[in-house]
């Protein structure tokens, strides 16, 4: 009863939402701060998710590369996440793909630059201190 759809056969063509409400509820409840959700909020969230899927798909297709080939591919979606402000929140789960070799090179360059600078400064500082101390000791003796 709580899950809503009593009429399975008769209204299937004109059903309000096609995503399963029970699953939407599980996802919503997985958020720890949420205590309870009323049925209207659940139905609206499910409907919004459908609209979102449509919008994400059409937006990515329109702005994507595969229009001539009549295809929607992953990079169309990751581009959308990167370039559109509205879809920015997807950037973490739809990262741009790059070659592993390129990534390793990037890592090396970044790490190389950072380390060299820091190491040099630290070493210099330590050396000076040690030198000072040893000189003092020598002077005393």
Write 83-90 long-range contacts (CB < 8 A, 24+).
84/59, 87/56, 87/59
| Segment holding 33, helix H or strand E | none
Under 8 Å between Cβ of 84 and 59: yes
x/- contact string, 71-90, with another protein (CB under 8 A)? xxxx-xxx--x---xx--xx
Minimal distance, residue 60 CB to another protein, in Å: 8
Q: Does 2 bind another protein (CB under 8 A)?
A: no
**Site residues (vs another protein, CB under 8 A):** 1, 6-11, 16-20, 23-24, 26-31, 33-38, 40-41, 43-45, 47-58, 60-61, 69-74, 76-78, 81, 85-86, 89-90, 93-94
């Amino acid at each position: 009863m709580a899950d809503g759809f009593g009429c399975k056969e008769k209204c299937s063509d004109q059903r309000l939402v096609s995503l399963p409400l029970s699953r939407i509820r599980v996802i919503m409840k997985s958020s720890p701060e949420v205590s309870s959700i009323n049925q209207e909020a659940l139905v609206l969230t499910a409907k919004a998710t459908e609209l979102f899927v449509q919008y994400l798909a059409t937006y990515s297709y329109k702005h994507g590369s595969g229009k001539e080939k009549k295809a929607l591919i992953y990079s169309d979606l990751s581009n959308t996440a990167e370039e559109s402000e509205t879809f920015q929140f997807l950037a973490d789960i739809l990262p741009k793909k790059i070659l592993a070799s390129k990534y390793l090179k990037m890592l090396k360059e970044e790490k190389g630059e950072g380390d060299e600078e820091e190491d040099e400064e630290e070493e210099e500082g330590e050396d000076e201190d040690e030198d000072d101390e040893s000189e003092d000791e020598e002077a005393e003796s």
